[in-house]
Structure 1
């Protein structure tokens, strides 16, 4: 194994930077060239068909069969002209990733002639034999039938393989034969519909011209890059996506010299290459930089409609993986691939905008428009307060468990950061007397609604310890893990906000019926109560501190640190009532997601446990014993020469090795027994709890002794590629 390490290091140190084919002209000349954009559709479809498709996208209505045939024909011609030979319904099953089955455009006619074939029926719907995809008990294994249906809201695109041939990818939803939703995309689409309806209704209080409200999102993606040879020298990176062992190098991130530093040439070449490929398929990447930890980087796009943003993010991850292979890198999206340095998140920057061009979370210079802004802000805060446990559940994964609460990223306690300026405005509304609007602009001045834009500009800082922070004109949900599909947390956020806005509008209408003349006063009265009911979730300080944990407990806020417990929010009565009432997910679909996520957690901890046992016993302990044997021979020679004093330091090292070998061997054995106990449980919840509370507890104990042995055993003999090599050889 040590030979593999040294060969990998030699290969990694002698890499050359591949030549990148930079497209000619400006970015705008090649942006979206591999995407079936609205412009391409307009060019290739008849005016009548284009109009019908555009209206169907806006209204959500079905596309007629003859129109679907024309779209399919246009897509086929366009795709073949771009080098595509196959098509696929590209969908997002509950695996956290994507799935696809490729079918050729090529077919044989009834008279034996070869033809290129792609009908509207194939575009709109496909049957997927997907019996092995997660279903959470919705289907039996023998019930293989599932359906994928085209989502025209997200444009089709072409994905190319290494040989240069392409596949037309058609973004699609996925559901079972009996109608249950089996993907991440459909619930997100459902949530955008209910949010649109509820937010438009509230926006109409202030502006009757608003006909549609759209959720937008910008997703910052953090990741690590490791040389391909070094990556493949570590079985734990291959099997678990993270290093289960590894002593921290002398230099980690403590000098803070990597963050925003000069991007290394080989890394920059990779970034340029994947950004070009992303831009070609319409992903609007804009920002690249070094992140805090060595070997860690970030890419961020511009804001998009939320369904498209989530599609683009998960597609971007795929583009990055493929491009990395060309550059002899492995991209690591695990939330905590290396101990002792920062892990990776996926910051979801969320906002809502109207079809009149107004960002509803953007403060206005006009006091009356500021009341609209505060109305939406307060309702969002209350939504997060009332459904914090469900938001926490959406980010509860085995990988993110290493990151949350680790003094590097958002803690497990869900809190909202507004900044001192906005907090003061809400305090004024809560504590000061509500002056009726008939008394003029003084009402707004007294409540601070006339100064919101300036105080936000001057005083609102960011709080990186807050899971849900207001950052001037949007909220940043920072707790999402870097490997996650953002569709699920964004679906939950959309739904809880929609429910709260719906409740607000009902209360407002009831009060207006009593007294139609006091519109602003009614709004402020309702907001005053909402602020009082939800202010416990507002926190401006250090979310990592022990003091905040104690304070949060006093406030009655949840602090759910383990995954199985957090996931219970999926099946709580409150969650079921919420999602069924909003028609986003039903009870059976929620229970299925609970089971799927529990199963995923169990399997990941099980795999990690097996890898830890294998590496510890078959690589580390065996190496330690061989090294110890050499030391014993050396010590014996010194003692035989009556050099006992000189032999004593070596004897101490021998004793130290024995101590750690014993700790490792005993705990690997006990961990295996705990794993057997878990595997014998038929109840999935009990099994998950054993893995969380018993099996996982051995990980750190074993790791501590392994990492100590790394410092003792001769560097030439150590079998596992070290952190200093994984993080710094580029």
Structure 2
């Protein structure tokens, strides 16, 4: 382990490498660009590019790429070599400032939500100097933003960077009112990543896993997670070897992989990093998912990142731990020892409470997808109703402010852990609430709704922008106040009263909460087609345009892209299901019942009755017939979707047509898929294992 400090960041063109390889004045200019956003002089850019190229070549790189995050949700890259023709047929290795700052990948084949026609191919990538370049697969990867020829944004990084500027600007305004000379405020994120590891050999026999990332069929194994023996349990040697190599690969890329453990479901695990500036954390999480898959392959595993790869056991999420800090290292969500008297903390807390209440629809849709719809609301993830948990002490502070009564601080207590050899552990003034979508956990908020496959740029763009808007309103009001302290107190109390409905410290899994949430007027956007149309609500368009994060057209494009993605996902799943039914499951059931019937006939010939076998043949035959009929219904629903698509986009192209199509898949295709699965899973429990055409849950989840 003594080599870790030398290993960490060894494949990153980070600040220490820049100091070593750049002239002092060039490094200072680049640092100014990174921290203050000043334009980079072309001469400086050329020097930086040359140093970056020389370093990359010394590390074995032969190519470079502008690494960006289009609306596919994954990363994209186009590789170019450093070679340039030289004299007498030779080549030289060159890389210019122009090539560093700007690239031109094809933009026609990425989702654009109507922003681009297919024939309009030109797009641009622009270097993001706030995120360090790194080497992957002998290629220098340069993190970039991605936009169209007309300047419209086609990626997830650009709006995130804009939202970070928005919240920094408004937070600095507020801090100046408290007498603090703050030049920059950053949001920080630590996205915990859950995932499954299964044997590559089992994966290769499951077309549903290969094509959709989840099992479309599968009867429950005799044992699931009910014994709670996997969570935090001893890690299997093969998995531990995977985790060790994963850490090593991530550390090389400067990713702060910190915590690893078994999760609740069999074969499920988690990796948690240390907090980083939000855009870097997003970049690193995208890299983490890619590296997980590659390392898993080398260990005979496949890493499943789908939100619900297996029915009946916990799915996987990505908990977005979010906080705000100043350029001097002050955490603005740190309550201190006396949160009731910490006016600055209470003001920022109020801004977050107000933001979550007013933009609960946006936070919900930031976690919306076909995969995550299977996970949200189950007893493993928060419900689809957005609420906040702030803990007992802060809850008491809020109640006192609302009621106008004096707050009486909770006595500091200790937990007696019952072992005399160990010291008492100071008890937190608030427990953690895993059922809450948005929970305060000491000096940060944990947003638990995003799914494990998600690029959390969207979530943090929305969160940053919503909080920036509330801080803007607060600053506008308090800057005009004659008596700052009185105005501050009145503002906090007024806004807490107005938005207290979003605070819920109880059990989010309880059905009674859904009834209570409805009484409070909270939205319950149960599915992706319910949530995504709120992207273009008037108040949300005003939010994004006011802070320069999106234009109205760019917001509409994102709604359309995500709704189409939902419909396409369900279509692929339905077609895969039909293929497996026709080619694998129905033939296996027919063969089993035929062989069983032949055995019954042979017994009859020798005068032996076989009532049990006869009944089994009848049951399998009847179920197979029902499954065949369900297959026909599903096939009809999928085929009819073509007419729905034609009609929807002929009458209402763009987002409105996408809404209609997504609702059709939710209301017609998905129920037909569930019915076919139910019958197939029942047959799995009737048909002999030797006939079943692919590995079962018992095979996949409980490997040796």
TM range (shorter): over 0.9
User: Which residue, out of 674, 690, 693, partners 2:637?
Assistant: 674
Correspondence 1:429 to 2:401? yes
Look up the SS of the partner of 1:712 in the other structure: coil
Correspondence 1:419 to 2:384? no
1: CA distance between counterparts of 2:162 and 2:194?
Answer: 28
Deviation for aligned residue 1:698: 1.2
Correspondence 1:596 to 2:568? no
Look up the SS of the partner of 1:476 in the other structure: strand
Correspondence 1:697 to 2:671? yes
Correspondence 1:41 to 2:41? no
Deviation for aligned residue 1:358: 1.3
Correspondence 1:664 to 2:638? no
Correspondence 1:106 to 2:71? no
Look up the SS of the partner of 1:192 in the other structure: helix
Look up the SS of the partner of 2:679 in the other structure: helix
- C-alpha contact (below 8 Å) 1:333/1:483 kept by paired residues: yes
- 1:262-288 per-position Cα deviation (integer Å, ceiling 9, x unaligned): 110000101100110100110011101
- 1:19-67 per-position Cα deviation (integer Å, ceiling 9, x unaligned): xxxxx73311211010000111111111111111100111112211000
Deviation for aligned residue 1:110: 6.6
2: CA distance between counterparts of 1:211 and 1:184?
Answer: 26
2: CA distance between counterparts of 1:38 and 1:604?
Answer: 42
Alpha-carbon RMSD across the aligned residues, in angstroms, is 1.7
Partner of 1:631: 596
- 1:53-87 per-position Cα deviation (integer Å, ceiling 9, x unaligned): 10011111221100000000000000000000000
2: CA distance between counterparts of 1:702 and 1:101?
Answer: 42
Correspondence 1:403 to 2:375? yes
TM-score (norm 2): 0.95
Deviation for aligned residue 1:109: 3.1
1: CA distance between counterparts of 2:30 and 2:667?
Answer: 53
Deviation for aligned residue 1:475: 0.2
2: CA distance between counterparts of 1:656 and 1:542?
Answer: 42
Q: Which moved more, 1:602-611 or 1:206-215?
A: 206-215
- C-alpha contact (below 8 Å) 2:175/2:181 kept by paired residues: no
- C-alpha contact (below 8 Å) 1:198/1:502 kept by paired residues: yes
Partner of 1:442: none
User: Which residue, out of 525, 531, 544, partners 1:579?
Assistant: 544
Correspondence 1:706 to 2:680? yes
1: CA distance between counterparts of 2:659 and 2:487?
Answer: 47
TM-score (norm 1): 0.91
Correspondence 1:78 to 2:78? no
**Count of matched residue positions in the alignment of Structure 1 and Structure 2:** 683
2: CA distance between counterparts of 1:261 and 1:203?
Answer: 45
- C-alpha contact (below 8 Å) 2:177/2:479 kept by paired residues: no
Partner of 2:461: 491
2: CA distance between counterparts of 1:668 and 1:544?
Answer: 34
2: CA distance between counterparts of 1:426 and 1:454?
Answer: 24
Deviation for aligned residue 1:641: 3.9
Partner of 1:533: 498
Correspondence 1:137 to 2:114? yes
Deviation for aligned residue 1:174: 0.1
Look up the SS of the partner of 2:62 in the other structure: strand
- 1:288-328 per-position Cα deviation (integer Å, ceiling 9, x unaligned): 10000000000011111111111100111111111112111
Look up the SS of the partner of 2:105 in the other structure: strand
2: CA distance between counterparts of 1:458 and 1:277?
Answer: 35
Partner of 1:547: 512
Deviation for aligned residue 1:356: 2.3
2: CA distance between counterparts of 1:637 and 1:95?
Answer: 58
Q: Which moved more, 1:133-142 or 1:563-572?
A: 563-572
Q: Which moved more, 1:699-708 or 1:88-97?
A: 699-708
User: Which residue, out of 678, 686, 698, partners 2:660?
Assistant: 686
Look up the SS of the partner of 2:325 in the other structure: strand
Q: Any gaps of 5 or more consecutive residues in structure 2?
A: 416-425, 649-657
2: CA distance between counterparts of 1:368 and 1:685?
Answer: 46
Look up the SS of the partner of 1:115 in the other structure: strand
User: Which residue, out of 119, 124, 130, partners 1:147?
Assistant: 124
Look up the SS of the partner of 2:63 in the other structure: strand
Describe the shift of the 1:369–1:33 C-alpha distance in structure 2 as closer, same or farther (beyond 3 A).
farther
Partner of 2:217: 245
2: CA distance between counterparts of 1:686 and 1:149?
Answer: 36
